[in-house]
């Protein structure tokens, strides 16, 4: 199992109230932390595309952020999680151009994650009348990207949601035949759909890793017999969690009670109105209460929280590995832990936990692509 970092650009309002420059500080911390991940054996940094979602994510341009990450790192793969591929938000030809540019400038380290937007706030802001339309928009565009990357002319194309005359879309990818392709998944049918199309799958579900087991199985069953929409199968499933790894587990438990651990989760349910809300959820602006030390300790002991010492973190990582997760992505800066604590944590995690699970220096996505090219 490999590891990644999720750079969300979470900027809570109370931070802005304390320091009007907090947005800039948070963006730069996300960038700097990606560099620290590269130094400590983390193989991927993922960056979303979100619009208009105050506090939750001030990250509207993953291609800009990731270009800076690529320039300051050496090994880590840079990935969009996701690029919004609905034509009213991003014209497909412009998406293809940006992907190819990032692929060249990173010298083959770009990972192309796709999706359709995650809320009516975003979708309606670009003139799309219904969230339901975004599914068919994604269905149309995902089939066109590999065609646009191929040598020679693309088109003419006259589709439902976009059209364009015959054009040679440049540059062509540096990575042959093209960068790895992924898609964000939520409901069980989308996991099977992603697998059948040969796409890597992002899983953003929270809670006990065991709840993800049937979703991962649906994906793995489908990807085993995939007809890839791209030029090869990217058999990869990724899960996201929080993380705090310190030598003293009791210190980690105490810190975890003071970093607004559930504030970001409250924002998820506030903004992302395309996902079901659990019963008893506080109505915004009320937030899910922060856990107690005893609650965090119980979660660490049960292997459902990556909080504590290296053994606690490894126990939780093993649970993800056992259910078939190929990449576990941590997101420490979606809390308010200090940047210094986050760096201290990733250094220990990279030294003590990563080597237990990730024993191959080659990225899994690279192995998938090279195996297909070899065939």
- Report the C-alpha gap between 20 and 327 in whole angstroms: 36
Cα 330 to the chain's mean position, in Å?
10
Evaluate whether 140 touches 86 at the Cβ level (below 8 Å).
no
Looking at residue 118, its pLDDT comes to 86
Looking at residue 269, its pLDDT comes to 93
pTM beyond 0.75: yes
* Nearest partner of 306 among 367, 244, 257, judged by Cα: 244
Evaluate whether 194 touches 201 at the Cβ level (below 8 Å).
yes
Looking at residue 57, its pLDDT comes to 98
- Report the C-alpha gap between 337 and 87 in whole angstroms: 37
- Kindly state the tokens that stand for 315: 């126990």
pLDDT digits (tens, 9 = 90+) for 264-295: 999 999 999 888 888 899 999 999 999 999 99
Looking at residue 204, its pLDDT comes to 81
- Report the C-alpha gap between 360 and 357 in whole angstroms: 9
- Kindly state the tokens that stand for 27: 């963006």
Looking at residue 64, its pLDDT comes to 98
Looking at residue 228, its pLDDT comes to 98
Other beta carbons within 10 Å of 313: 29
Ranges under pLDDT 70 in the chain: 205-206, 375
Looking at residue 206, its pLDDT comes to 66
pLDDT digits (tens, 9 = 90+) for 222-270: 999 999 999 999 999 999 998 999 999 999 999 999 999 999 999 999 9
Handedness of CA 112, 355, 295, 208 (dihedral sign): positive
Looking at residue 153, its pLDDT comes to 98
- Report the C-alpha gap between 51 and 29 in whole angstroms: 20
Q: In the CATH hierarchy, which top-level class contains the domain 2-374?
A: alpha beta
- Report the C-alpha gap between 222 and 204 in whole angstroms: 19
Other beta carbons within 10 Å of 94: 12
- Kindly state the tokens that stand for 306: 């990556």
């Amino acid at each position: 199992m490999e590891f990644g970092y999720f750079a969300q650009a979470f900027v809570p309002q109370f931070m802005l109230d304390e320091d009007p420059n907090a947005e800039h500080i948070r963006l730069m911390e996300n960038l700097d932390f990606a560099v620290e991940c590269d130094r400590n054996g983390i193989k991927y940094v993922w960056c979303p595309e979100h619009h208009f979602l105050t506090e939750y994510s001030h990250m509207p341009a993953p291609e800009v952020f990731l270009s800076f990450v690529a320039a300051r790192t050496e090994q880590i793969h840079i990935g969009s999680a996701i690029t919004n591929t609905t034509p009213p938000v991003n014209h497909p030809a412009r998406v293809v151009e940006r992907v190819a540019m990032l692929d060249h400038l990173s010298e083959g380290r770009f990972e192309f994650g796709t999706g359709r937007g995650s809320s009516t706030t975003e979708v309606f802001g670009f003139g799309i009348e219904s969230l339901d339309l975004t599914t068919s928009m994604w269905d149309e565009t995902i089939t066109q990207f590999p065609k646009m990357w191929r040598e020679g002319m693309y088109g003419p194309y006259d589709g439902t949601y976009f059209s364009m005359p015959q054009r040679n879309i440049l540059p062509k990818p540096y990575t042959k035949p093209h960068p790895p392709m992924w898609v964000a998944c939520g409901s069980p049918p989308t996991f099977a759909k992603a697998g059948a199309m040969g796409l890597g799958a992002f899983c953003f579900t929270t809670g006990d890793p065991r709840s993800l087991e049937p979703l991962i199985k649906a994906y793995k069953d489908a990807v085993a017999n995939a007809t890839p929409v791209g030029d090869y199968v990217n058999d990869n499933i990724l899960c996201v969690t929080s993380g705090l790894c310190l030598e003293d587990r009791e210190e980690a438990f105490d810190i975890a009670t003071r970093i607004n651990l559930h504030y970001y989760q409250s924002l998820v349910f506030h903004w992302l109105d395309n996902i079901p809300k659990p019963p008893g959820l506080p109505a915004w602006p009320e937030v899910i209460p922060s856990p107690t030390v005893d609650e965090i300790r119980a979660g660490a002991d049960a292997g459902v929280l990556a909080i504590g010492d290296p053994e606690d973190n490894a126990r939780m990582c093993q649970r993800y590995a056992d259910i078939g997760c190929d990449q576990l992505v941590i997101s420490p800066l979606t809390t308010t832990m200090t940047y210094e604590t986050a760096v201290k944590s990733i250094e220990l995690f990279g030294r003590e936990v990563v080597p237990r699970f990730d024993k191959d220096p080659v990225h899994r996505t690279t192995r998938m692509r090279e195996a297909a090219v070899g065939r």
